[in-house]
Each structure stands twice: as C-alpha cells, then as structure tokens.
Amino acid sequence: MHRARDRDRGWSCLPPCAQKMTRLLLGVTLERICKAVLLLCLLHFVIIMILYFDVYAQHLDFFSRFNARNTSRVHPFSNSSRPNSTAPSYGPAGAEPPSPSAKPNTNRSVTEKPLQPCQEMPSGLVGRLLIEFSSPMSMERVQRENPDVSLGGKYTPPDCLPRQKVAILIPFRHREHHLKYWLHYLHPILRRQKVAYGIYIINQYGEDTFNRAKLLNVGFLEALKDDEEYDCFIFSDVDLIPMDDRNLYRCYEQPRHFAVGMDKFGFRLPYAGYFGGVSGLSKSQFLKINGFPNEYWGWGGEDDDIFNRISLNGMKVSRPDIRIGRYRMIKHERDKHNEPNPQRFTKIQNTKMTMKRDGISSLQYRLVEVSRQPMYTNITVEIGRPPPRLARG
C-alpha cells in the first residue's frame, strides 16, 4: 500500500530508506572496485609467474649450454668421459679402427645431444693440397690463423669424440725456419682430420753430433710425462709436409709409414724397407720394439734399424696409397754435426742382437728445459755424445 503511494509521489521509499539505498549503492560499487582490484592482482600474479618461469627456463638452458661447451672441450682428455682411453684399438691400414662406444657424457644436459665418435674419414677433408715454401712465414701468422690451438700446441676436436690421442714428435735443432712452415700447414690439416693431438719439438741441446732416433725416444717419454693418455705417437721430420689431408695422422693396427712418396724421391718409395720421414706407432707397438735405437749418431741408418725392429717383432709396416702418401720436403743442405754415420751399414745388420739392450729401456738423458709455446711444446734435452770410437768416425 505505502509503496504504491510512494510511487505515486515519485518516491521509491521514505528518506531513511533513501539513505539506506545510497549506502547500498555505495557498498555495491565498492564491492565491484574490490573485485576488480582482486582480479587485477590475480592477473598480475599470473603474468609474474609466467615471466618468472620463462626466465628460469632460459637460465637453465644457458647453464646447460655453458656446461656442455665446457665438457665438450675437456672430455676427450679426461679418463671418465673418454671411452677406451686406456685400451686403444687400431684398425688395419686405411680401414676403420674400432669405434669407441658412444657412451654419452653424463655431465651433459638432456637437451644437448651427446658427442658422437669422430668420423673415420672426416667430411671436412679437402684431399690434394698446394704446398709451397716461397711465401714468407712468421710464427705470428701461424698463431693468428690457428686460434683454436691451445698453449703447448694442443688441440682436441670440439664436435666429436676423437678415437685416439696423438703425440706428434719432431727431432730438432736449428731449424726454426722449417718449423714455421710445418706448423702453418700441419695445424689446419690435423684439425680437419679431427685429431686430438699435442706437438712436441725435441730440441737437441749443444752442438754435439745429432741423434734423431734418441731424441724421438726422449719425446716418447716426455710426452707421456706431460699426458699419460697419449696412445699414439707420430714421428715427423720438421721439413716434411703432407700433400694430401686424407693421409690420416693416427695409429693403425700395424706400425705406419706415412711418407711413402716424397718429391725428392720422385714420389716413389725409394726401397721396400724404407721407414724414414714420417712414421707412427701406437704406445704398445713402440714398447714392443723397445723403442728406437739410441746409438745411431749422425745421419742415416736409424730408420732402417726401426724397420728391422718392427719386422723382427712379427709386425708388418702399413702404408697409405701412394697417391695419397705424397710429401714435399723443404730443400736444405746437410746440417753441421749431422754428417753421415759411417757405422750405419754394419749397425743395421745387428738389430736382432742390439734391440733388446739398446732402446727405450736403456735411454739416458738430461732434461734441460720444457717450455710451452702457443703452437708447440719445446723440450730441450742433453743426450750426450757418441762414444770416442764413433766420434773419430
């Protein structure tokens, strides 16, 4: 009744009621504002959470990549992650060595693919190379062009698991000019070949008669002192550059002779038992022949003695195809204090008798200095002089 009357008068209710209405309206508005604020807060929270998880995920990704990069550079040198590191295996000449098990690196994040064993014949090889020694060469240039080589001339492929760890040993004295060319050509070749390697220059101290084979024996022991994981040793003259990068610098099931065809020999093997220039033996092959002879002072004969040791111990030299095993030698005169050894012809007749007592087992030397250069490790060593009978020659 009252309401009808009020309606008639234009009132919906009496003044106290109007107050109530105003308060009610105010309350509703306030409630709406509160709801809106709450909703905004919720939205804000959701957005914050999304952003937070996104950044966190990026963080995780960054660290996993960072770790992966670190481990991929380090693992080929560490026992834990390098499969078969203490038990090297070798394939036959030119054939595929047994591949290491592709055990994934446990440090890697699940998002990163584990490294695969390096390809037997890496895809980055280019084959025939143009080798020349007329353009000037400097160690600065070699360094500039090989930024991936670490101190001491060491390198390991970052993108695959190398099959072996190779120490490259160079007998040396006063051949700095040749060394620059050797490093200039060999670092990129070895990198393309996916070799994990270290370069060691075995520098004979003093001016006594040169002894190539004894220096190489020293190199074997000193390289292992530096890194006991080396399982392959390549012995190279400082003046010899391969003309084809398919001549792979690694060890094989049988001792390897790499320098099959040299320019100075008309790119032919000079004789069937030739083992000079560049050769490679696994650690066990080297130990089986009691290393190299220590008693060849001056030029010649030591390479034939090594060939005899290999045959006498029931092994057979393996070689690359003649079209691939081609080399250029930097032209040079015979060095002072490296005159032909007049004893060499009789000595190589007696390898069978001498190899057991003369070799790595009887090696004596005095280490003068080990210095790590950016592109190689230099080992200067005093190896004595020939006994008086030989010195009179």
Give residues in contact with ligand UD2 (CB under 6 A).
170-175, 210, 212, 237-240, 262, 276-277, 299-300, 302-303, 329, 334-335, 338
Per the annotation, the verdict on 332 as an active-site residue is yes
Active-site residue (options: 112, 237, 244, 253): 237
326 vs 174: CA distance, rounded Å: 25
Per the annotation, the verdict on 369 as an active-site residue is no
Pick from Mn ion, ligand UD2, none: which does 335 bind, CB < 5 to 8 A by kind? Answer: ligand UD2
Residue whose CB is nearest to Mn ion in the complex, by number: 239
**Closer by beta carbon to Mn ion, 8 or else 333:** 333
**Closer by beta carbon to ligand UD2, 238 or else 360:** 238
**Closer by beta carbon to ligand UD2, 161 or else 262:** 262
| Cβ neighbours around 61 below 10 Å, total | 13
**Closest distance to Mn ion from the beta carbon of 212 (Å):** 10
**Closest distance to Mn ion from the beta carbon of 170 (Å):** 12
Size of the site for Mn ion (CB under 5 A): 1
Per the annotation, the verdict on 6 as an active-site residue is no
**Closer by beta carbon to ligand UD2, 68 or else 170:** 170
**Closer by beta carbon to ligand UD2, 173 or else 180:** 173
Active-site residue (options: 334, 353, 389, 392): 334
Q: Does 303 bind Mn ion (CB under 5 A)?
A: no
Active-site residue (options: 226, 229, 302, 305): 302
Per the annotation, the verdict on 132 as an active-site residue is no
Per the annotation, the verdict on 237 as an active-site residue is yes
Pick from ligand UD2, Mn ion, none: which does 243 bind, CB < 5 to 8 A by kind? Answer: none
Active-site residue (options: 226, 244, 303, 304): 303
**Closer by beta carbon to Mn ion, 239 or else 253:** 239
**x-or-dash string of contact with Mn ion, 189-228, rule CB under 5 A:** ----------------------------------------
Per the annotation, the verdict on 299 as an active-site residue is yes
Active-site residue (options: 263, 329, 337, 382): 329
Among residues 239, 244, 253, 304, the one that binds Mn ion under rule CB under 5 A: 239
330 vs 29: CA distance, rounded Å: 96
Binding site for Mn ion (CB under 5 A): 239
Q: Annotated catalytic sites, by residue?
A: 237, 239, 299, 302-303, 329, 332, 334
